[in-house]
Structures are given as C-alpha cells and as structure tokens.
Structure 1
Amino acid sequence: MADLAELAGRAVAVPLGAVARWRGGRPMHPRGAVFDAVLERHGATPGLGVPWLDEVRTEPVVVRLSRGAGLPAPLPDVLGLAIRLGSDDAPVDLLLSSTGRGAWGRLVPLPRIGAEVTYGSIMAYSSAAGPIRIAALPATSGGSSDPGPVAGAASDRVLAFTLAAAVGRGAWRPFARLYSTAAQDRLDTAMRFDAVRNAPPGLVPDGPLARFREPSYATARRSGARGR
C-alpha cells in the first residue's frame, strides 16, 4: 500500500504536469543560469564507506542555478543548485535546494535572495553508511576558500562551493570542491535533471521526499519535462 508521501506525490503530480506544460516543460525552477564547472572529489575524511563519496577524481560538470517558484528578484525564493556529471548514457544528477545548515535546518527548504547560501539535498539517500544527505557549502563560509585553478577569465569565477556529506544528522564531511570555469552564453538549457533516476552510484533515493518526488517526476516526464 502506498504511504502518505507517495499519495501526496500522486496528488501533486497532476497540477505539476499542467504547470509543466504551461511553462514549456518545467513545473518548478523554470529559468536558470547555466555554467560549465569542475568537480574535484578528494574524498571524505574519515571515509564514508561509499566509493563515489570517498574516491579521488576530477571531472567537468554542468551547473544550473535557478529560483524554485520563478519569482522575480529581489523577492526571496527557494533557490536551486543542480549539478550534472557523468556521460550521456549514465548521468549523475545532484539537485540541491537552499536550506539551513544545522542538524534540523538541513531538512527544510528555505527562501533566500543571494546565491551564496547553503544548498542541501533535503531528500535522503540510503547507503552502506546509513542515510546520507549532500550539501554545497559556500567556499567563503565553510570548507576551502580557494576555488583552485580555474580555466577562463576571472569574471567567470562565479561559483565556488565545498560539497559535503552527512550521515543522518551528523557533522558535514567535505568530499569535493565545485567551481565554475565559464558561464554559458544562453540563460538556460534543454537539459533536464532527475535526482531519483540519476542518483550517484551507491546512493539510493530514500525516505518520504523520494517517495513524494517519484510520482511527480513520472507525470512531468509524460508532460515533456523531467526534474528541473
């Protein structure tokens, strides 16, 4: 039997599908700024026992910054930070929203104005280490403040975040650095992100939010949209 989260997701899926059609395929986060970036994974200390979070690897990624409800600035909105890495055949998507940073605040989306805020997955992932959440912490307020060598003009260095993971409500453990290399010419992209289908290896979307999201994502896919 479906639980309350899944039932709520099914109920929300219909109006979201209508909004997706009206907004040309995106029910939420309708417009975004797109950046080419680099993700440097150096591994968590101590290790988390999840290879994807513990391995050392550097790879190019695409990042999209957006406003959840599409409210005009300077009105506060729940902000989104979407990260796509991997190949076209096996993409990995991280969808993070502006949240608090503490043990309880990380569970709640919070409207913000400026982009240099904490972004969290809100949705938990089940793993060999237990329930895990991922966050992007502004480099100026936590983790390394050095964005590393960036290819491109200094004016392109818009993004600088430390990616961290936490087990349950435990402390954040930094495992990567994210920094932009260039802003793409177009304001947006046809790329769609899906946190449920394209989870990192070894991490399985879990918990009420995952069960809430999946019916909405399924309806959005049928409406020509997918994720953000």
Structure 2
Amino acid sequence: MKTFPSALSVPASVAGAGLAGAAFGLAAALRRFGTKPLHPRGVVVEATLTRHGVQSGHPSSGVEWIDEPGRDQVLVRMSRAVGLPSAWPDVHGLALRVPMDGDAYADVLLASTGWRGLSRFVLTASRRSTSRPMTTLLPYRSSSGPLLIGAETMDRGTRLRLSWATRLGPWQPFAVLELSSTEGPDPAMTFDPVLHPLPGLENYAWVRRLREPAYATARASRSD
C-alpha cells in the first residue's frame, strides 16, 4: 500500500472547453479579491483508494495505474467551486492527491457534471455534493485516445465508485474510494493536475492553456 511521506468527440471537447473556460473565468472574477480564484474553501480528509484492475470481459484503458490492482492512501479535498453558501446550488469539486514513487504525487480534479453522453462535458450545480456525479470534464490524452475519469456516490457520501471512459463510450468502473470522513480541516495546499498528472495520462496542450491561468493564480496565492 502506498502512503504519503507526510500528512470525446471533437464537438464534445470543444463544448467542455468552453464551459470550463467560462466557469474558470466567472469564478476568478467573483473571487478576484480573495485568496483563491476557484474552490476557495473546502475540507481535506484521508481516504483509501482500492483499484481492482481490469475485470474479465471488460476493456483495458491502456493506463497502467487504472488497469492494475492496488491500494493507495490518498488525500481528498471536497469543495464548492465559487464558494457560495451551502443553501445555494454550486458546482462541487473533488480533488485527489495520489502518492507515486518516492516523494512524487499525482493530482486528479473532478467537478459535478452530467454522466451520460454529452452531459459528461457539462458542469452542473446542486446544493449537496452527493446528488450529482463528477468527471474530469476535460479529457486526458492516453494511448486509448481521449480519456475521462468519473466518480459516483455509492452510499452515505463516504464511498465513491471511480470509472474511466473514452470520448462518449461507456463508463468502466476501476476503483472504490472510501473517505475517512466528510468533515475536516482545510490546510494550505494546492491540487494541480497540470503540474502533477497521473502516469500514462497527459494534458492536451489546449487543456493546459485553458487551465493554466487559474492554477497559476492559485499557486501565487499560496506563496504570498
């Protein structure tokens, strides 16, 4: 078990990029005088990520970390994108920090979206984080083509099923995430999937261009 050293189709991709860009810009504008342009407040908890590997009769993603069984002790941050009061609908975020070899780690960020067809590229808002599925919204580049990661709540909001899909293909479950709690502190840390992608998954150049300004602002706010 690994632990931390310390505590698409082209139209769909374009649609997702436009929606994400608009969301990033709106959140940054609303939070321009705050410390973070996105997800200003949240909760960080420990969790166990159990990857069961490729199941009989199911396709392989071509990404070793997804296809091979394993268990990781990860950090999870749950947050609301704009930081609106809990009584208001907001886009929910789920950030994973996965330990790699040595002191390295990878970050995965998911946001509340639809799940079927093109809706997986559409941000959705709700009052409760458990009421909507989540996806990476924008695809990674993989050996199998554009690939997304998604999460669905299984029960009580403390267990989530992780799946992967290519373009508009069916979701393929590959892991279960078990949260230690849904309450906790919010230490000063920045999850950055641009700087720290999972092995075997690359950010497309247009995804990096879209996301980099928001993450650069977040990095700067953490260094002040």
1:23 aligns with 2:46: no
- SS of the residue aligned with 1:22? coil
Aligned 8 A contact 2:189 2:222 in 1: no
1:63 aligns with 2:76: yes
Q: Which moved more, 1:164-173 or 1:37-46?
A: 37-46
Q: 1:137: Cα distance to partner? A: 1.1
Change (3 A) 1:168 1:18: closer
* Aligned-partner Cα distance in 1 for 2:121–2:129: 19
Q: 1:130: Cα distance to partner? A: 0.6
Q: 1:124: Cα distance to partner? A: 0.7
Instruction: Tell me what 1:123 maps to.
Output: 138
Instruction: Tell me what 2:195 maps to.
Output: 197
Q: 1:138 aligns with which of 153, 162, 168?
A: 153
Instruction: Tell me what 2:87 maps to.
Output: 74
Q: 1:49: Cα distance to partner? A: 1.4
Q: 1:14: Cα distance to partner? A: 9.5
Q: 1:112 aligns with which of 123, 126, 147?
A: 126
Identity %: 39
Change (3 A) 1:23 1:135: same
Counterpart of 2:173 in structure 1: which amino acid? P
Change (3 A) 1:122 1:14: closer
- SS of the residue aligned with 2:180? strand
The gaps in structure 2 that reach 5 residues or longer are 1-15
Aligned 8 A contact 1:36 1:184 in 2: no
- SS of the residue aligned with 1:111? coil
Q: 1:221: Cα distance to partner? A: 2.3
Report the TM-score when normalising by structure 1: 0.77
Q: 1:74: Cα distance to partner? A: 1.2
Instruction: Tell me what 1:154 maps to.
Output: none
Aligned 8 A contact 1:16 1:220 in 2: no
Change (3 A) 1:183 1:113: closer
The CA deviation string for residues 155-184 of structure 1, in whole angstroms up to 9 with x for no partner, is xx7521000000111000011100112456
* Aligned-partner Cα distance in 2 for 1:10–1:71: 19
CA RMSD of aligned residues (A): 3.0
Instruction: Tell me what 1:171 maps to.
Output: 170
Change (3 A) 1:36 1:199: same
Q: 2:52 aligns with which of 42, 57, 64?
A: 42
Q: 2:103 aligns with which of 72, 79, 89?
A: 89
Q: 1:207: Cα distance to partner? A: 6.2
| Greater RCO (Cα-Cα under 8 Å, separation 6 or more) | 1
Q: 1:54 aligns with which of 55, 60, 67?
A: 67
The CA deviation string for residues 119-142 of structure 1, in whole angstroms up to 9 with x for no partner, is 1101110010110000011114xx
* Aligned-partner Cα distance in 2 for 1:181–1:47: 29
Report the TM-score when normalising by structure 2: 0.79
The CA deviation string for residues 85-124 of structure 1, in whole angstroms up to 9 with x for no partner, is 1158311111000000012011011111111120110111
Change (3 A) 1:185 1:13: closer
* Aligned-partner Cα distance in 1 for 2:43–2:168: 31
Change (3 A) 1:120 1:133: same
* Aligned-partner Cα distance in 2 for 1:118–1:12: 18
Counterpart of 1:23 in structure 2: which amino acid? G
